[in-house]
Copies of this chain bind each other. A is one copy, B any other.
């Protein structure tokens, strides 16, 4: 089938690679606001063609929206207005707002809301990764609002990419995403700013930073163009989790201030409980 991918960045580009590799798309049309991204994607062979949006929609069976979630909200009505029987899916990190945006749209059934749980701290088509989605989860939201054939096309596609499906309502998705993804980014951004602010000897960071620091801070390289809209759209959940995170950090602070080593040990032992969940 012919697939249009709107947003040929980290996710769109990696998806293009995977669709080609698995023989799921024989022709990929790429659309991106950034002309340089389109050029790079063509040169890298991520996409086969670039053409105007209307033409792309007419030629395609599937339209994938892999743009930042603010662009997603802006674009989705236009796409939905232009399609006939095509299937539209997104890959956005937030889900409630996009659901509200297309609620009651006459073509609502053609849309499948998805969030593949994979990413890196890099962006743009040159960040595309081969085999990116294998063994990862993909969340499908509000599946009962999608037409059966549209849902089947999208779920089969993800299964063939090696992903396992998790079904969730949009509201639950946004809450869980705040915990397992959005807060990690804020933590990492704030940690980077802490070190950049106070550690005046950057050479020392460079020389001494070991794997532990690197893994905790790597998400701080992530693109604001993607993340500001995520925090905008998931503001309330992220604020809840962030408040809890600050109060957890204050417990560590209080232990240090009061030299309460017994309670500090308890806090760490409690944190070790994450082993139950992540091997």
Contacts and interface: CB of A to CB of B under 8 A. Distances in A.
Nearest to A257: B239
Nearest to A204: B176
A123 to B, nearest CB: 11
Given A239-B253, A272-B221, A180 B261 contact: no
A180 B184 CA distance: 18
Nearest to A247: B194
A187 B187 contact: yes
Copies of this polypeptide in the complex: 2
Interface string A243-279: 1111011111101110101001101111111111110
Contact of A242 (B189, B253, B270): B253
A204 B255 CA distance: 31
A52 interface: no
A53 to B, nearest CB: 27
Contact of A256 (B213, B242, B259): B242
A164 B15 CA distance: 40
Contacts of A197: 244, 248
A144 interface: no
Contacts of A235: 256, 259
Contacts of A252: 186, 189-190, 242
A117 B186 contact: no
15 contacts: A117-B210, A164-B207, A176-B204, A180-B208, A180-B210, A181-B212, A185-B212, A189-B252, A190-B252, A191-B248, A197-B248, A198-B240, A228-B264, A231-B256, A246-B250
Given A180-B213, A187-B249, A246-B246, 19 more contacts: A117-B210, A136-B210, A139-B208, A166-B208, A181-B212, A192-B271, A192-B273, A193-B251, A197-B244, A198-B244, A202-B277, A209-B277, A212-B219, A214-B278, A221-B274, A221-B275, A221-B278, A222-B268, A245-B249
Which 5 residue pairs across A and B have the least CB separation, nearest first?
A: A224-B268, A189-B271, A192-B271, A184-B216, A192-B274
